């Protein structure tokens, strides 16, 4: 397959206050990201999409609604990782039927897993779906760290075409890129986007691109044009935006921003954040719009 490139929003999932999926808002969110933020692709049912708080039926519905709304306009990756790899296979088959460009799966988490376990997990999902696979590498949350040699063993699996590299270790990223120059690397650490660009990764997946992919693209353009000082200054601006986002219920605030921009109902997060009043959520979102997105 051709490499997937550009800026991918790790799309938020719009839930109603009672925790049910707001199906209309899914389509509105897709349209916002394509029309307003000009993203190149969407990463669906990832951490930002709150897959850990969504059952299999909900994740399937999201995949279907996104594919319908996107209608072939952008690249789509479905995150299907789960400790029950049978569910991963099921969702991977759904993504295949819906013509997603690839699937991705977070490494196994919570329990202690050996590399043999990790290898077997990806092999089962690939064998069961026949889909191109991006390994979702997030060691700071999954407690699964892979050596460069172990990455190589995963890459020997048919259909493993890339890595969503969301680790913070830039040395490891450079070593991975150096060892496997043909690997399709999608970098998932928004706070260091400029570093990923300079290291030559192929694309970027992040939560914060749900509302500010425009500035993220300016960073990429500056970095790739050799305007390093400008790129670094833009990254400083971007990180100020990120700091304000993460201080104010990240997923909820992103959804409120999309609503305030005129795309769909106000929707909510299912993750167990401390409760926040609707008025405060909207106020925080409007402050971020006024400060960074106007």
* CB-neighbour burial class of residue 1 (10 A; exposed 0-12, middle 13-18, buried 19+): exposed
In 3D space, the residue among 273, 275, 255, 251 whose CA is nearest the CA of residue 264 turns out to be 255
- Backbone phi, then psi, for 79, in 5-degree steps? -85, 120
> Is 263 noted as a catalytic residue in this protein?
no
Which residue in 43, 85, 122, 164 is the catalytic one?
164
Distance of CA 155 to the CA centre of its chain: 21
Compute the distance between CA of residue 287 and CA of residue 75 in angstroms, rounded to an integer.
31
Compute the distance between CA of residue 281 and CA of residue 193 in angstroms, rounded to an integer.
27
> Is 116 noted as a catalytic residue in this protein?
no
* CB-neighbour burial class of residue 102 (10 A; exposed 0-12, middle 13-18, buried 19+): buried
Cβ burial 238-260 (10 Å sphere, 16+ → b, else e): bbebbeebeebbbbbbbbbbbbb
State how far the alpha carbon of 136 is from the alpha carbons of 7, 13, 62, 143, 151, in Å. Answer: 16, 19, 19, 13, 11
Which residue in 90, 121, 122, 136 is the catalytic one?
136
Q: Show which residues are catalytic.
A: 136, 164
């Amino acid at each position: 397959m051709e490499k997937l490139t550009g800026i991918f929003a790790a799309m938020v999932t719009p839930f109603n206050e009672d925790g049910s999926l707001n199906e209309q808002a899914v389509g509105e969110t897709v349209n916002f990201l394509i029309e307003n933020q000009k993203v190149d692709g969407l990463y669906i049912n990832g951490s930002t999409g709150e897959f850990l708080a969504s059952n299999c039926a909900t994740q399937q519905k999201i995949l279907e609604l996104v594919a319908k709304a996107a209608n072939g306009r952008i690249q789509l990756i479905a995150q299907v990782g789960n400790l029950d790899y049978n569910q991963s296979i099921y969702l991977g088959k759904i993504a295949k039927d819906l013509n997603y460009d690839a699937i991705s799966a977070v490494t196994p988490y919570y329990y202690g897993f050996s590399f043999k376990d990790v290898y077997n997990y990806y092999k089962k999902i690939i064998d069961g779906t026949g889909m191109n696979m991006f390994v979702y590498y997030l060691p700071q949350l999954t407690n699964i760290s892979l050596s460069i040699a172990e990455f190589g063993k995963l890459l020997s699996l048919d259909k493993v075409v890339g890595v969503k590299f969301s680790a913070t270790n830039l040395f490891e990223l450079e070593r991975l890129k150096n060892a496997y120059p043909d690997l399709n690397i999608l970098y998932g650490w928004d706070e260091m986007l400029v570093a990923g660009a300079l290291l030559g990764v192929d694309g970027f997946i992040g939560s914060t691109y749900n509302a500010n992919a425009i500035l993220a693209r300016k960073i990429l353009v500056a970095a790739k044009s050799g305007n390093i000082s400008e790129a670094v200054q833009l990254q400083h601006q971007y990180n100020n935006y990120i700091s304000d986002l993460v201080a104010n219920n990240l997923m909820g605030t992103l959804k409120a921003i999309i609503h305030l921009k005129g795309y769909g109902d106000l929707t909510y997060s299912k993750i167990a954040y401390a409760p926040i009043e609707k008025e405060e959520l909207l106020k925080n979102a409007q402050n971020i719009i006024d400060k960074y997105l106007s």
